[in-house]
A and B are shown apart, each in its own frame.
Chain A
Amino acid sequence: AQKITQTQPGMFVQEKEAVTLDCTYDTSDPSYGLFWYKQPSSGEMIFLIYQGSYDQQNATEGRYSLNFQKARKSANLVISASQLGDSAMYFCAMTYYNNNDMRFGAGTRLTVKP
């Protein structure tokens, strides 16, 4: 069964420092998509970054980059130069089997300290 694992329930980072949020996944399907979303306390899920299983290069979007290690089945999110506004829940998610049934990890609560 497809499964997403986020092993860090909570993380703290100092403002302006970089932080890595871990995500591992399990699937036997060769075609899948990996996503990271941010959920502030307001509840809305904000899309951050996407990585396709066949993409050769790691995805980057501004301060966000995805460290994709296919053989290890990991898709860690790296946030550079953390800001106070980055404090939120972060979810790793996966879609597979050519459909939109998105599976989510349990999430990591990131707190940025001033």
Chain B
Amino acid sequence: KAGVTQTPRYLIKTRGQQVTLSCSPISGHRSVSWYQQTPGQGLQFLFEYFSETQRNKGNFPGRFSGRQFSNSRSEMNVSTLELGDSALYLCASSTGTGGNQETQYFGPGTRLLVL
């Protein structure tokens, strides 16, 4: 079974621009969660999508948004980029039905650099 895939793997943007990251979950998984990883803040939960609906949301500003398509693929968008948005963005997929008992499987991440 293919793992979680993320595109692009690397991205360089300038302040004020917007960016869209994509995540394709493991086949059969309906939940996609997004995380931001920075040296200063560590790993932080952004949001989770399940069956095309945002099910949980972390403590990030509205510039961070996402969506999920009917095939469970998910996109994350960051508008008006700031220098502090430079990070590794990881997405994780799971079946979405096991609550806190289910394992999330992560993709390779997208490294975003904002100049």
Contacts and interface: CB of A to CB of B under 8 A. Distances in A.
Interface residues of A, number: 28
18 contacts: A31-B100, A33-B100, A33-B101, A35-B103, A43-B108, A43-B109, A44-B108, A44-B109, A46-B106, A47-B106, A93-B43, A96-B100, A99-B56, A100-B100, A100-B104, A101-B56, A102-B92, A106-B42
Given A47-B103, A52-B101, A99-B48, 8 more contacts: A31-B100, A32-B100, A37-B106, A42-B108, A44-B107, A47-B106, A93-B43, A102-B45
B111 interface: yes
A54 B104 CA distance: 19
Secondary structure call for the B interface? strand
Contacts of A46: 106
A2 to B, nearest CB: 11
A99 B99 contact: yes
Given A91-B43, A107-B42, A100 B103 contact: no
Question: Ordered nearest first, which 3 A-B pairs have the shortest CB separation?
Answer: A45-B106, A98-B99, A95-B100
B88 interface: yes
A25 interface: no
A33 to B, nearest CB: 4
Contact of A99 (B55, B103, B111): B55
Contact of B92 (A31, A43, A45, A97): A45
